[in-house]
Structures are given as structure tokens and as C-alpha cells.
């Protein structure tokens, strides 16, 4: 049975842990608000590029672009996986990595059929331990990233598709639903078939005037649009990360409160038992002398 001193020490250490988790919860809540604002502010920019590209593609029948067409044979698939650099965020990383591994194992028979582009230290370490092919990696991104922070990896990914190193590219990330809910999401980045489908399904809503020609405009806009999708997924993933960490730290704080209550009750009972024993010893000693 633990002594009073041991129980008191455990109560003290649990209270210190609670202070840490409570502080982390508050910090994550503040970062979440800003990350959510960044993600929401960037979305209209992506929507506008999609609108312009769809309008040009729909209004010009004789213009096409390799980024808009499915390739007849998919020899190699690229996966952009967005994880965090740190843990203590519940199932944010584990759920995403588990789903990614499941899809890779279902779709591919060997490592020659796919390649990984990893954002985040947790994902990088996970795939390295399993000797999986990592083509690019980026770690140490700030909590509120700028477009310039991922410009290199985004543009290189588009170049890999243009050079036919990859025949298709998917993004895996956690989509922000709410502060307590994140959904593992896979979206197809390349080819940009959604643009082509939108262009074929509907006439252009706006009549844009552009120069020098539609083909040149698409040549410039499509790679930039693909890069903006990567950045948008990163912002969404950051908001999900802070939401998951805030929820995890809140649960840890609640558990610490519960544990402190249990230990305090145990301490009071042990102290009461010790006092009762001392009284009995005193009474017994007095009785023996009389």
C-alpha cells in the first residue's frame, strides 16, 4: 500500500501535468482560430481560379491541356500526405496514416507503383521506418504557413506529373469539420479531371476577355491552380491539427482532474486510517498502564 508521502507526491505531479495540458489546450485554441481564418480566407481565391479555368476550357473547344486528361495507363501514382510535426493531437496522425496505408496496400503490389510526398515529421518518420519510397519531404513548417513555405514542393510535384514520373497524384489530409471533428480525406489532385468535367457539363457563366490566347492562359493557370489546391489542403490540415490537439489536451486535463480527485480521496482515507491507528495505540497503551 502506498504511503501518504507517495500519494501526496503523485497528486502534486498530476496537478503539474494538468497545468501543462491546460496551457496547451488554450494555446491550441488560439492557433485554431487563426488557422481556421486562414483556410476560409484562401478558399475564395481557389474558387476564383477554378471558375476562370472552367470558363476558358468550356468556351474554347479546340484547346486542351495534359493536366486535364486522364492517362490511358497509370504506371505510377503519387501521394501527398499531410501530417503534423509533433504529437499530442489524439488520432490526428494515426487515423490518416492508417487510411493511407490501407489504400496503398489495396491499390499497389510493389513500391515501384507509387511514390510519397510527405509534409510533416510524423508522416516522414512513419514511412521511413517502413522503407517506403519518399520522393520529397518537408518538415518544420510554421503553425501559420505562407504559400512560399510550400511553393517548392508544390511546383516540383506538378513538374513530376508533367514529366510523367507520376500519372496521377492524390492528396491525403484531415479535413476540418469542427473543433472536435476531423475527417480523413483523399482528393485527386492530378489530372484536374474535375475542371474538365465542369467545363463539359456546363456553359461558361462569365465571358472573359483574355490574351494572348486560351492555350497560353491555361498553361500558366493550371499549374498554379494545382499548387493552390495543395496549399489549401495544408491550411485545412493545420486547422484540423489544432482542433485535434485542443480536444486531446482538454481530455487530458479532464482525466487529470479525475485522477486528482481519486488520489485525494485515497490520501484522505489513508490519513484517516493512520490517525485512527494512532488513537487506538494511545488508548491501548493507556489501558496497559492502568
Residues known to be catalytic: 89
Q: Give dist(CA 192, CA 174) in Å, integer.
A: 21
Q: Give dist(CA 46, CA 48) in Å, integer.
A: 5
Report whether 95 contacts 132 (CB < 8 A): no
Report whether 120 contacts 85 (CB < 8 A): yes
Residue 153 grid cell: 514542393
Phi-psi region of 69 (alpha: psi -120 to 50; beta: other; left: phi over 0): beta
Number of CB atoms found within 10 A of residue 212's CB = 7
Number of CB atoms found within 10 A of residue 181's CB = 13
77-82 β-sheet, strand order? 134-138, 114-119, 77-82, 168-178, 181-190
Pairing verdict, β 134-138 and 181-190: unpaired
Helix (H) or strand (E) holding 215: helix 214-289
Could you give the C-alpha distances from 88 to 17, 82, 144, 159, 222, in angstroms and in order?
13, 16, 18, 35, 37
Amino acid at each position: 500500500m502506498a504511503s501518504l508521502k507517495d500519494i501526496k507526491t503523485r497528486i502534486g505531479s498530476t496537478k503539474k501535468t494538468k497545468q501543462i495540458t491546460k496551457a496547451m489546450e488554450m494555446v491550441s485554441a488560439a492557433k485554431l482560430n487563426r488557422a481556421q481564418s486562414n483556410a476560409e480566407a484562401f478558399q475564395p481565391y481557389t474558387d476564383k481560379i477554378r471558375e476562370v479555368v472552367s470558363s476558358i476550357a468550356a468556351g474554347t473547344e479546340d484547346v486542351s491541356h495534359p493536366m486535364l486528361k486522364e492517362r490511358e495507363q497509370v504506371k505510377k501514382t503519387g501521394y501527398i500526405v499531410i501530417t503534423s510535426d509533433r504529437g499530442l493531437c489524439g488520432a490526428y496522425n494515426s487515423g490518416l496514416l492508417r487510411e493511407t496505408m490501407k489504400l496503398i496496400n489495396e491499390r499497389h503490389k510493389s513500391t515501384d507503383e507509387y511514390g510519397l510526398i510527405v509534409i510533416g515529421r510524423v508522416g516522414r518518420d512513419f514511412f521511413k521506418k517502413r522503407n517506403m519510397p519518399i520522393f520529397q519531404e518537408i518538415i518544420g513548417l510554421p503553425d501559420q504557413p505562407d504559400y512560399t513555405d510550400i511553393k517548392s514542393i508544390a511546383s516540383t510535384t506538378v513538374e513530376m506529373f508533367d514529366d510523367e514520373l507520376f500519372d496521377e497524384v492524390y492528396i491525403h489530409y484531415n479535413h476540418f469539420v469542427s473543433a472536435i471533428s476531423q475527417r480523413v480525406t483523399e482528393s485527386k489532385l492530378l489530372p484536374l479531371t474535375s475542371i474538365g468535367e465542369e467545363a463539359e457539363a456546363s456553359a461558361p457563366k462569365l465571358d472573359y476577355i483574355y490574351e494572348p490566347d486560351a492555350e497560353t492562359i491555361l498553361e500558366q493557370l493550371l499549374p498554379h491552380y494545382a499548387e493552390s489546391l495543395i496549399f489549401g489542403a495544408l491550411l485545412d490540415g493545420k486547422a484540423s491539427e489544432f482542433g485535434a490537439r485542443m480536444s486531446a489536451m482538454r481530455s487530458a486535463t479532464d482525466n487529470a482532474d479525475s485522477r486528482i480527485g481519486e488520489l485525494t480521496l485515497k490520501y484522505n482515507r489513508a490519513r484517516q486510517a493512520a490517525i485512527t491507528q494512532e488513537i487506538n495505540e494511545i488508548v491501548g497503551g493507556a489501558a496497559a498502564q492502568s
